[in-house]
Amino acid sequence: MARVFVSGSSTGLGLLAGKDLLAKGHDVIFHARTAARAENIRREVGDASSVVVGDISTVSGAMDLADQVGALGPVDAVIHNAGVGYGGSPRPTVDGFPDIFAVNVLAPYILTARISGAKRLVYLSSSMHRVSPNLHDILWRTRRWNGSLAYSESKFLVTALAFAVARLRPEVRANAVDPGWVPTRMGGGGAPDDLGKGCATQVALATSSEPAIAGLTGQYLYHMAVQQSDGNTRDASLQDQLLDLCQDLSGVSP
């Protein structure tokens, strides 16, 4: 049995992954942004599982959440599921960062750095990650806002983060997953991909004992199959720039 923390697991793919893990006999730490959403989790899964509550759109919130997880004891795996989609005007956090970057990139960086001991790390990417990010203006302070591009950049960067972790922590299995365009609140009811398949890869990477899955690290997967990510996500110098940027913005060492 594995102990798995799933960020952003009050709805959608995160909740589905958590329920699947429970059904397979694993111990799950769920995460909700608010107390009201935590109650939604408890209605769905009962009181047997742990639920941590916190807003990871802020540096202090992400650090506090990592501390809450740590206080519950060691975890075997983390699924970095929480994410913000695109649409509308930019939404700055109280730290002054676009929420797309704060939740999709900076929070996984902080949680990775602050939750110790997990040997399997799964990061949620997207097929939309194939762009060239502007690391000199990743906070959109000089560029004209483009929500779709900001989202794509965030998914490029979290994919590069997964590969950086795999490169720098050889004892850890770190991978990125494209769950597909699935009918969640973010994806919309008309999304064509299968919701069950959308979370199966994350669950397998976090817990499977099958060598073909358990041995993977530094890979990008879609529906249980290894795919090619954008080649620049594997650029070590870009990865290092990203780590330095996240450290500067958060004050948290990688």
Tokens of 213: 């899955």
Contact 87, 43 (CB under 8 A): no
Count of CB atoms situated within 10 Å of the CB of 208: 18
Alpha carbon 32 to its chain centroid, in Å, reads 14
Contact 39, 70 (CB under 8 A): no
Tokens of 141: 């302070």
The residue from 109, 123, 155, 220 that is catalytic is: 155
Cβ neighbourhood burial of 172 (10 Å; 0-12, 13-18, 19+): middle
The residue from 109, 123, 151, 220 that is catalytic is: 151
| Ramachandran sector of residue 230 (left: φ over 0; alpha: ψ -120 to 50; beta: rest) | beta
Rounded CA-CA distance 168/6 in Å is 23
| Per-residue CA distances from 108 to 40, 89, 144 (Å) | 23, 23, 26
Rounded CA-CA distance 97/84 in Å is 13
Catalytic residue status for 151: yes
Rounded CA-CA distance 173/205 in Å is 9
Catalytic residue status for 123: no
Rounded CA-CA distance 107/223 in Å is 25
Q: List active site positions.
A: 151, 155
